[in-house]
Amino acid sequence: MTLEHFMNDAISPWMREEGPSSDIVMSSRIRLARNIASIPYPIIAEEEKLAEVRKLIEKEYANKSFNSYHNFEFIPIRELTAIEKRVLVEKHLISPNLAKHTNESAVIISENEQVSIMVNEEDHLRIQLYFPGLQLRHALDKAFEIDDWLEEKVNYAFDENKGYLTTCPTNVGTGMRASVMMHLPALALTGQINRMMPAINQLGLVVRGIYGEGSEALGNIFQISNQITLGKSEQDIVGDLESVVNQLIDHERNARDLIMRESPTALEDRIFRSYGVLAYSRIIESKEASNCISNVRLGIDLGIIKDTSRNILNELMVLIQPGFLQHYAKKTLTSRERDVLRASLIRERLQLEN
Partner 1 sequence: MPSFLIPVVVKGEETVECQECHKRPATLHFTQVINGKKTEISVCNVCAKEKGYVTYPEEEAYSLHNLLSGLFNFDTSKIDNPTLQKVKDLQCPQCKMTFAQFKQVGKFGCATCYETFSDKLDPILRRVHAGNTKHYGKIPKRAGNDIQMKRQLNHYKSQLQQLIENEAFEEAAKVRDQIKELEANIRDKEAGDNA
Find, among 280, 334, 29, the residue nearest to 178 by Cα.
Answer: 29
Q: Judged by CB under 8 A, does residue 192 bind partner 1?
A: yes
Helix, strand, coil content of the chain in percent (nearest 5):
50, 15, 35
Q: Judged by CB under 8 A, does residue 200 bind partner 1?
A: yes
What distances in angstroms separate CA 30 from CA 88, 153, 170, 207, 338, one per listed residue? Answer: 18, 21, 16, 16, 33
CB of 262 to partner 1, least distance (A): 10
Sole window of 97-105, 232-240, 291-299, 318-326 interacting with partner 1 (rule: CB under 8 A): 232-240
x/- letters, 206..225, toward partner 1 (CB under 8 A): xxx-----x-----------
Given the complex with partner 1, which of 109 and 176 has the nearer CB atom? 176
Rounded to a whole number of angstroms, the distance between the first and last alpha carbons of the chain is: 32
On whether the CB atoms of residues 207 and 200 are closer than 8 A, the answer is yes
Candidate list 15, 134, 157, 245; residue touching partner 1; CB under 8 A: 157
Given the complex with partner 1, which of 250 and 353 has the nearer CB atom? 250
Q: Judged by CB under 8 A, does residue 334 bind partner 1?
A: no
Residue 260: which region, alpha, beta or left (left: phi > 0; alpha: psi -120 to 50)?
alpha
Rounded to whole angstroms, how far apart are CA atoms 52 and 46? 10
Candidate list 17, 18, 43, 348; residue touching partner 1; CB under 8 A: 43
Q: Judged by CB under 8 A, does residue 196 bind partner 1?
A: yes
Candidate list 138, 232, 310, 347; residue touching partner 1; CB under 8 A: 232
Candidate list 65, 67, 247, 263; residue touching partner 1; CB under 8 A: 247
Size of the site for partner 1 (CB under 8 A): 62
Helix (H, G, I), strand (E, B) or coil at 26: strand
Candidate list 198, 282, 330, 334; residue touching partner 1; CB under 8 A: 198
Rounded to whole angstroms, how far apart are CA atoms 311 and 313? 5
Candidate list 254, 291, 308, 344; residue touching partner 1; CB under 8 A: 254
x/- letters, 277..316, toward partner 1 (CB under 8 A): ----------------------------------------
CB of 75 to partner 1, least distance (A): 26
Sole window of 52-60, 127-135, 192-200, 287-295 interacting with partner 1 (rule: CB under 8 A): 192-200
Cα 98 to chain center, whole Å?
15
Rounded to whole angstroms, how far apart are CA atoms 90 and 12? 11
CB of 138 to partner 1, least distance (A): 16
DSSP lists the bridge partners of residue 156 as 36
Q: Judged by CB under 8 A, does residue 162 bind partner 1?
A: yes
Q: Judged by CB under 8 A, does residue 266 bind partner 1?
A: no
Torsions phi, psi of 65, nearest 5? Answer: -125, 150
Candidate list 90, 104, 121, 122; residue touching partner 1; CB under 8 A: 122
Q: Which residues contact 218 (CB under 8 A, 6 or more apart)?
A: 209, 210, 211, 286, 287, 290, 291, 317
Rounded to whole angstroms, how far apart are CA atoms 5 and 2? 6
Sole window of 6-14, 200-208, 272-280, 319-327 interacting with partner 1 (rule: CB under 8 A): 200-208
Q: Judged by CB under 8 A, does residue 199 bind partner 1?
A: yes
Residues in 49-78 that interact with partner 1 by CB under 8 A:
none
What distances in angstroms separate CA 291 from CA 153, 266, 274, 334, one per listed residue? Answer: 46, 16, 8, 22
Q: Judged by CB under 8 A, does residue 41 bind partner 1?
A: yes
Given the complex with partner 1, which of 76 and 204 has the nearer CB atom? 204
Q: Which residues contact 283 (CB under 8 A, 6 or more apart)?
A: 336, 339, 340, 343
Neighbouring C-alpha atoms within 13 Å toward the C-beta of 96:
8
Find, among 345, 320, 246, the residue nearest to 87 by Cα.
Answer: 320
Q: Which residues bind partner 1 (CB under 8 A)?
A: 35, 37-41, 43-45, 122, 144, 147-148, 151-152, 155-170, 172-174, 176, 192, 195-204, 206-208, 214, 227-234, 247, 251, 254, 258
